[in-house]
């Protein structure tokens, strides 16, 4: 059913994915990065954050969303782009901005219409977004089938995404979306992980050294972009894509994160 919802609406909300303790761990990791790189407390947008804390790696192969991602994109996938966003309340009098966009950059200019999906993004909300004024992500349901959005006005059919901390949202990259202004008294924290086919070039340099990647389980290595060589992204060997074995032999619908881990000695 979730795949049908994604195909129809361009997004799926998966509630109650993270336990409060997991959210706390991730928030602490976000704040460590923020204090180190943006100590002034301003809004913070950090690309390629996955290697900055082990807590972030735990979401790469999370069993609550990876089955849906691989059901849509297949097993020859990886995280090609990610960003960490922290948005404190706006100062009084801040001017609203036009932020409506589709993900993908030049894909939306150089590919003919209708444009293909090519990637999915998962947004992990670490703080409650109970109202539109809490910086809610605004979406136009079903707009992943539209290549153009009029820029002369805010979309009439846009809706704010109101979620609780611990929620994951899976988005078709073509869905028209925008971050709303945070006019509440709470800081909004969200992590974004974007998955695509391994033959598409990475958008971010993750900066995770080879020794650290080599120590990870095989599925997680694949999802962080590892491969036996360039041709392995186009014509993968079994070593390139352990996710295929995980899907076929351990069932995507398992509720255990161990589903994506290779057995000892593999």
188-219 per-position pLDDT tens digit: 999 999 999 999 999 998 888 888 998 999 99
Task: Check if the beta carbon of residue 133 is closer than 8 Å to that of residue 183.
Answer: yes
Q: pLDDT tier at 1 (50, 70, 90 boundaries)?
A: low
List Cβ neighbours of 264 (8 Å cut-off, separation of 6 or more). none
Give the number of other Cβ atoms within 10 Å of residue 34's Cβ: 19
**Please, what CATH class does the domain formed by 2-208 belong to?**
mainly beta
Tokens 């997991």: give the residue: 22
- Domain ranges within the chain, ordered by starting residue: 2-208
Helix axes 66-73, 2-9, angle to 10 degrees: 60
Q: pLDDT tier at 250 (50, 70, 90 boundaries)?
A: low
Tokens 């057995």: give the residue: 263
The whole-model pTM stands at 0.92
166-170-171 Cα angle (round to 5): 135
Would you state the structure tokens that stand for residue 79, as one six-digit string? Answer: 């995280």
> CA-CA distance, 85 to 191, in Å (whole number)?
6
Q: What percent of the chain has pLDDT over 70?
A: 93
Hey, CA dihedral for 14, 20, 21, 27, is it positive or negative?
positive
């Amino acid at each position: 059913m979730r795949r049908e919802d994604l195909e129809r609406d361009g997004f799926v909300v998966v509630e109650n994915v993270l336990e409060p303790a997991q959210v706390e761990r991730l928030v602490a990791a976000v704040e460590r990065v923020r204090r180190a790189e943006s100590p002034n407390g301003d809004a913070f947008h950090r690309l390629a954050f996955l290697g900055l804390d082990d807590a972030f790696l735990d979401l790469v192969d999370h069993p609550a969303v990876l089955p849906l991602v691989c059901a849509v994109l297949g097993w020859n996938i990886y995280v090609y782009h990610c960003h960490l966003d922290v948005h404190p309340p706006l100062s009084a009098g801040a001017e609203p901005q036009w932020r409506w966009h589709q993900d993908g950059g030049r894909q939306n200019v150089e590919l003919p219409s209708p444009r293909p999906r090519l990637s999915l993004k998962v947004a992990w909300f670490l703080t409650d977004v109970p109202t539109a004024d809490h910086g809610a992500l605004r979406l136009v349901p079903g707009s992943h089938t539209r290549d153009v959005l009029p820029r002369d006005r805010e979309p009439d059919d846009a809706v704010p995404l109101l979620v609780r901390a611990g929620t994951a949202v899976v988005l078709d990259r073509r869905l028209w979306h925008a971050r709303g202004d945070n006019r509440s008294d709470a800081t909004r924290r969200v992590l974004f992980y974007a998955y695509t086919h391994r033959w598409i070039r990475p958008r971010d340099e993750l900066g995770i050294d080879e020794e650290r990647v080599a120590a990870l389980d095989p599925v997680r290595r694949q999802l962080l972009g590892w491969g036996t060589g360039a041709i392995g992204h186009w014509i993968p060997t079994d070593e390139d894509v352990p996710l295929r074995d995980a899907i076929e032999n351990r069932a995507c619908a398992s509720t255990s994160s161990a589903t994506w881990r290779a057995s000892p000695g593999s």
